[in-house]
Structure 1
Amino acid sequence: MSTDIDANVEAILRKYKTITVVGASDAEEKPAHYVPEHMQQHGWRIIPVNPRGGTILGQTAFSSLAQVPERVGLVNVFRPSFQAPEIARQAVAAGASALWLQLHLSSDEARRIAEDAGLLYVENRCMLVEQRRLMLSAPTI
């Protein structure tokens, strides 16, 4: 199974230029801020999703995945594991094709929802750590 996750990690980081971040934060000390900020600094475009809205990392934050006004591809989740199944359902409804739960987050139900809908799925991995491990920058396409 680890190999499948490793393959999904690499496929996601090589394929998606835009990351929709559910639970994005404007608090610099939180992983939900500095992980997407790191990815942004390495060429990825960040679309923050936070119920408070506002601006995060210089981008308009949308209150929900349903409010994002463009096709959603990769959804990166910084919310507690118990919220992951509902976020997975919202990601599927928004047309996402990949779902990534950050480090320390996992959900069998979210995995089933995502995989049943054909999404690439990663859980319990930090996107920043994986980007550094693979030494990748955002795809140029």
Structure 2
Amino acid sequence: MTDEDATIRDLLLRTRRIAVVGASDRPDRPSHGVFGFLLARGYDAVPVNPVRAGRTVQGQPVLAGLAEAAPLDMVDVFRRSSEAGAVVDEAVRLGAKSVWLQLGVVDEDAAARARAAGVTVVMDRCPVIEWRRLGLPPRIGQQAP
């Protein structure tokens, strides 16, 4: 296992509350599937999407902004790379311990700012893929098989 693998494994197993920015109530959207996966693993997952505020995703009420979801362990970002920096900066300001930028979402400058503030950053990866690749247990708080 690489150092990066160990970091991702630890992050996924110790995180409890996750805000998913850009979560969608549309089942065909990747954010919808990832959000459901996080709920099924036992996370306290909160959908954040100003366009979908007032609706539900996987039975959870959608919040309009990240501040409403605080306190946070992790912020999982489903936004364009050009929009990710503002979300990362807000996550840092709100005291999130980590920021996860989804597949295809890359902002090196924002990642550097977050790391300088002591925030763990995972970029251009999917927690579902990483969970399966690392052979993590069915739910957080359980032992791996």
How far apart are 1:45 and its partner, in Å? 2.1
How far off is 1:5 after superposition? 3.4
| Contact kept? 1:20, 1:76, Cα under 8 Å | yes
Ranges in structure 1 where 5+ consecutive residues have no aligned partner? none
Please state whether the residue corresponding to 1:76 is helix, strand or coil.
strand
Q: Give the drift of 1:6.
A: 2.4
Task: Give the CA RMSD over aligned residues.
Answer: 1.4
Structure 2 CA distance for aligned equivalents of residues 112 and 103 of structure 1 = 18
The match for 1:24 is 23
* Distance in 2 between residues matched to 1:40 and 1:17, nearest whole Å: 10
The answer to whether the Cα contact below 8 Å between 1:17 and 1:139 also exists between their aligned partners in 2 is no
* Long gaps (5+) in structure 2: none
Higher relative contact order (CA 8 A, sep 6+): 1
Q: Are 1:5 and 1:121, in contact at CA under 8 Å, matched by a contact in 2?
A: no
Matched ranges for 1:1-141 at <5 A: 3-52=2-51, 53=53, 54-68=55-69, 70-136=70-136, 137-139=139-141
Q: Percent identity?
A: 37
Instruction: Report the Cα distance in structure 2 between the residues aligned to 1:38 and 1:105, rounded to whole angstroms.
Output: 19
TM-score, normalization by structure 2: 0.87
Which has the larger Rg?
2
Count of matched residue pairs: 137
